Chain A
Amino acid sequence: MDKHFPEDLQYTKEHEWCTVKDGVATIGITWHAQDALGDIVFCELPQAGEKVTAGEAFGVVESVKAVSDLYSPITGEVVERNDDIMEKPEGLNEDMYGDGWMIRVKLSDASELEALMSKADYEAFLAEEEG
């Protein structure tokens, strides 16, 4: 899949994306995150009922070479986990914004969304990070 960052998502500096519907956030990793990791071979995610906190690690993805923590964009309770992507983590390289979603979280504090980046902000951040 070519490099792209959908307009309708919000982004973090740790390269996660997030989109909210009816107070529930769907969370995944960005094209940039999977590209930097390479072939993803393992993924560990919290199950329904567990709490996640904005800015704190909620799971792990691993490529052949590296281990990388996942950081939650928002705080809340996990209501659904994508078990399919844990079984077939290569889907994170193939469809990171679709079938590669990771968890759905019931928001505790919707104001946290204001701290997240738009597509334009994220692309500017990436350009700066890459120097």
Chain B
Amino acid sequence: MSENLKKTPLHAQHVEAGGRMVPFAGFEMPVQYSGVVDEHKAVREAVGLFDVSHMGEVEFTGARALEVVNRIITNDLDKIADGQAAYTVMCNESGTIIDDLVVYRFSAERILICVNAANREKDFAWMEKQTNGDCEVKDVGDDYAQIAVQGPNAEALVARLTSTDVKAIGRYWFAVGKVVDVDAIIARTGYTGEDGFELYVASADAPKVWNALLEKGADLGVKPAGLGARDSLRLEVCYPLYGNDIDETTNPYEAGLGWVVKLKKAGDFVGKAALEQVKADGPKKKLVGVELVGRGIARQHYPVLVGGEKVGEVTSGTMGPTVEKPVALAYVPAEHSAVGTDIQVEVRNKPIDARVAKKPFLQK
């Protein structure tokens, strides 16, 4: 594998566990260990561990930190409390998506933002420019490792390694405490559609925490899980993936993320005027769920047809191991976006009957 690829602090653990390493967003990351289906099911039925240390983190500090971040993101940090997190997007002036983020509000003077690995440099440059000296903004991505503990047994597992009352941490809240004996941010967040936690620890502490999770979770069915399962898990619950389903050509209303755009929040934010216009006019295309009626699996970039004409494209698609059927997301013109609409997906030059499906595919 190329020597230019970066390694996370858990690289040795992945190799030791038989992880199949692949290049991803400039890192050498495990795509699978025991197998995508096995890992996917472990997360849905027990608990899985993901190394997500490749994700970036940016910290805003200073008297005006909250005001600055609120001007950069579409969601509203005034509506959440200290100790709470929010999912959001960050748009440019034309209202299209620079990245999707999870924002952690420690206080009005300290905000931590988790960004996609592939967007780290781009996001930081944009954030620095928008901040314009109004508060401190620092790329702290190299300081943090991040371990996602996901699945119905996640709470029981994390509880074994900390004196923090993890039961008391609500969905999209977080606490600062010790895990094993190291400092950690214990956030009840994730990207799988299951209950779970994301543990932010110092990079040097990551192997200790990872090993302890595997050791203490054996009777809870814990397994390390790779990027393959991460993708099939998020797709069954229709969480968008930046670079596939959302990017700088799509706006949040088209992506079904209108709920993170708070047009009425106090003060202006980047992209507001453009997004007000999109909302007034209605989005021209929409990200929909696609289910195939005929045999096949819809994959990224496969054309979507209506009446034999190409009207859109699949942005993500795979076989869903829990729903046991192919699952896909695609952009289609708004007039063809209603659930139940008959469409076709071109699979290897052959049109296969399909329909617009209710999202998410996995109903819990």
Contacts and interface: CB of A to CB of B under 8 A. Distances in A.
Interface residues of B, number: 19
Interface string A40-51: 011010000000
B83 interface: no
Contact of A65 (B38, B318, B326, B348): B318
A64 B319 contact: yes
A67 interface: yes
Interface residues of A, number: 11
B295 interface: yes
A41 B31 contact: no
A63 interface: yes
A131 to B, nearest CB: 11
A65 B297 contact: no
A38 interface: yes
Given A62-B297, A64-B37, A64-B228, A42 B32 contact: no
Interface in A55-77: 60, 62-65, 67
Contact of A39 (B35, B296, B297): B35
Interface in A20-49: 38-39, 41-42, 44
A38 B319 contact: no
Most chain-B CB neighbours within 10 Å: which of A63, A64, A65? Answer: A64
B8 interface: no
Contacts of B40: 64
B315 interface: no
B319 A41 contact: yes
Given A62-B319, A64-B37, A64-B319, A38 B297 contact: no
Interface string A69-94: 00000000000000000000000000
Nearest to A86: B295
A41 B296 CA distance: 10
Nearest to A62: B297
Given A42-B296, A42-B319, A60-B348, A65 B37 contact: no
Interface in B311-364: 318-319, 321, 326, 348
Given A64-B232, A65-B318, A67-B299, A39 B31 contact: no
Nearest to A65: B228
B43 interface: no
Nearest to A42: B297
Interface of B: 31-32, 35-38, 40, 228, 231-232, 295-297, 299, 318-319, 321, 326, 348
Given A41-B37, A42-B319, A65-B231, 8 more contacts: A39-B36, A39-B321, A42-B297, A42-B326, A44-B295, A62-B297, A63-B36, A65-B318
Interface of A: 38-39, 41-42, 44, 60, 62-65, 67
